[in-house]
Structure 1
Amino acid sequence: MPRKLSQITGVLPALVTPFDENEAFDEGRMRTVVDFLIRRKVDGLYVTGSTGEAFMMSPEERKRVLEVVMDEVKGRIPVIAHVGAISTHLSIDLARHAEKVGADALSSVPPFYWGFSQDQIVSYYTDITASTGLPMCVYNVPLAGLFGFDMIKRLAQIKGVEGIKYTASTHHDIMRIKTEIGQDFVLYSGADEMAMSGVAFGADGIIGSFYNTIPEVFIDLFAAAKAGDIEKARALQEVGNAIIFFALARNPIAAIKRSMAWQGADAGYCRKPFGNFYDAASEEKLKAEFRAFKAERGLTGVNFLDAI
């Protein structure tokens, strides 16, 4: 039986998708990455989202990625399958497949590109959510178009919509969502660099890109923030943010994948037009930059930095 969304809390990496040097999905690397993250004690996985390069893949590739992830997870932790697309028809097909292979919940960006009306967006989520028995987590993200608070309240009224992935800087609305929509409406804070404030304002979990490579930082941060130890949470957020902003200037998803490889979980490469570190010289240059950064900031206890 699938879990309720309220049972999926804590730290959930927005899972990377490993591709090989020829941009083909690499099943072996995917299995290694999943096992690596489970051993690192993450609380769940968010699959084929933005970090997973979903919109670089065909629907059949997205299905295969989820199949491999589910087979490797084997029920050890919950999995949220992102099924977002512009077409309701395509999203329903992905949603039904996700249910068939055992995903615990669905998530989706709103349909984008054509500037759909609020009624059309509500219809999109209503149709997808009605197509399966899985709970839906709507996705508030600048890349696809942010929802206003009234729109979030409207989406929360759809049968089966049980939560939201909130990737926006207006964290005052996190508290408002919990107060006006309800404490049982699950909220995931989606901005890595604002994880502490997300949890402090009431988020039930955090979903983010950098939890693939520095999960230890955010697992400790989440626990500290939940315990009310804001001083510790802030110190961990400062470490995380230093790494995030340094990586953002260096092909961030590719940098995440390479830094995972330095820890023994080779996450492969990105699909173009994303940049990559294909050759030994470019990867060594990235390592050297991270070494200098580590020394300059005096960072300790970060696994991938200690590994280089």
Structure 2
Amino acid sequence: MANEDLKGLISALLVPFNEDGTVNEKGLRQIIRHNIEKMKIDGLYVGGSSGENFMLEKETKKQIFDIAKDEAKDEVILIAQVGGTNLYEAIELGQYATELGYDAISAVTPFYYKFSFEEVKNYYFDLVEKVDNRLIVYSIPALTGVEIGVSQFKELFENEKIIGVKFTAADFFLLERLRKACPDHLIFSGFDEMLLPAVINNVDGAIGSTYNVNGLRSRKIFELAQAGKIQEALAVQNETNDLIEAILDNGLYPTIKQLLKLQGCNEGAFLSRKPMASATQEQINRSKEIYDAYLKNVKE
């Protein structure tokens, strides 16, 4: 697969859990089919923040990679997020996902400790040296505290296996500078509420959690903006941001899981992985109101 074939709208896959913290496999398969068949997404980003990945054991991460590949097969792009603070686990997961046939891997910048850029760069270079796949840097400075500038991105991109970045930041000056400096590398927008300005800045795609439930509307934003129909795209972004604001006010992941249930993904438990809290009855009730107000009548 050429890098061009990784472009598009990609859902950051949510994972439903059982009361004991195990993966609800039937529910996960439903979510995958829902994304492909109803949300019409181009790909799945598996093992990211939306999948509650950083609270999971290595074997559970592998299980999720297995299920996603088995269910999606080759119908859509599959990107495996393998990163964390443990380089050796990231290498093992990257090799595992590659053997399964994932189209690319991604890795969050190592966090918690205040790593220097040289340490971050070595982490990525060591990872791609051991994994025979392409890599997309996952940059989310609000959660990791790791800021990467244009010159540093260019250093990372000197490695031909590092093909792009999931850019989850609100710094549109940096995004514009990066797009101009690195026209041949892939840039994916990571903030769903900022999809329109990201597309105006010529991102190659977008990866986000709300695409699990709002993929159809997000597709309209993407395509209208690419066609230069900015005011029409803005109107859809306004609708989307009303939805996103309501979701954030009610609790991001618990609410999206409840919205997925209301859209027909209702096989078994749709809990979060502790210590993350699952939806309260109040949140469940509010999710129904959000669904009725913003999603019930959305069509292609």
TM range, smaller chain: over 0.9
**SS of equivalent to 1:214:** helix
**SS of equivalent to 1:249:** helix
- In structure 1, distance between residues paired with 2:108 and 2:70: 25
**SS of equivalent to 2:80:** strand
**SS of equivalent to 1:153:** helix
Q: Contact 1:174 / 1:202 at 8 angstroms: preserved in 2?
A: no
Q: Contact 2:243 / 2:290 at 8 angstroms: preserved in 1?
A: no
**1:151: how far off?**
1.5
Pair 1:114–1:63, CA change in 2 (3 A): same
Superposition RMSD in Å: 1.8
The amino acid that maps onto 2:263 is Q
Match in the other structure for 2:23: 25
The amino acid that maps onto 1:121 is V
- In structure 2, distance between residues paired with 1:141 and 1:106: 16
Deviations 1:114-133 (A, max 9, x none): 11111111000001111122
The amino acid that maps onto 1:161 is I
Q: Contact 2:262 / 2:291 at 8 angstroms: preserved in 1?
A: no
More moved, 152-161 vs 98-107: 152-161
- In structure 1, distance between residues paired with 2:59 and 2:4: 29
Deviations 1:1-37 (A, max 9, x none): xx23331111101110111233210111111111111
Are residues 1:153 and 2:115 paired?
no
| Unmatched tracts of structure 2, length 5 or more | none
- In structure 1, distance between residues paired with 2:195 and 2:276: 25
The amino acid that maps onto 1:88 is L
Match in the other structure for 2:48: 49
- In structure 1, distance between residues paired with 2:81 and 2:205: 16
Match in the other structure for 1:256: 256
What is the TM-score when the length of structure 2 is the normalising length?
0.93
Q: Contact 2:16 / 2:23 at 8 angstroms: preserved in 1?
A: yes
The amino acid that maps onto 1:153 is K
Match in the other structure for 2:227: 227
- In structure 2, distance between residues paired with 1:25 and 1:87: 22
- In structure 2, distance between residues paired with 1:114 and 1:285: 38
Match in the other structure for 2:129: 130
Q: Contact 1:106 / 1:137 at 8 angstroms: preserved in 2?
A: yes
**SS of equivalent to 2:50:** coil
Q: Contact 2:12 / 2:211 at 8 angstroms: preserved in 1?
A: yes
Q: Contact 1:164 / 1:187 at 8 angstroms: preserved in 2?
A: yes
- In structure 1, distance between residues paired with 2:149 and 2:184: 20
The amino acid that maps onto 1:109 is V
Match in the other structure for 2:91: 92
Pair 1:306–1:11, CA change in 2 (3 A): closer
- In structure 2, distance between residues paired with 1:286 and 1:22: 24
What is the TM-score when the length of structure 1 is the normalising length?
0.91
Match in the other structure for 2:279: 277
Q: Contact 1:5 / 1:105 at 8 angstroms: preserved in 2?
A: no
Match in the other structure for 1:205: 205
- In structure 1, distance between residues paired with 2:177 and 2:234: 23
**1:282: how far off?**
5.1
**SS of equivalent to 2:112:** coil
- In structure 2, distance between residues paired with 1:46 and 1:24: 20
Q: Contact 2:140 / 2:169 at 8 angstroms: preserved in 1?
A: yes
Q: Contact 1:251 / 1:274 at 8 angstroms: preserved in 2?
A: no
- In structure 1, distance between residues paired with 2:9 and 2:42: 5
Match in the other structure for 1:218: 218
Match in the other structure for 1:140: 139
The amino acid that maps onto 1:202 is N
- In structure 2, distance between residues paired with 1:29 and 1:250: 22
Deviations 1:54-101 (A, max 9, x none): 001101100110100000011001100000110111110110001011
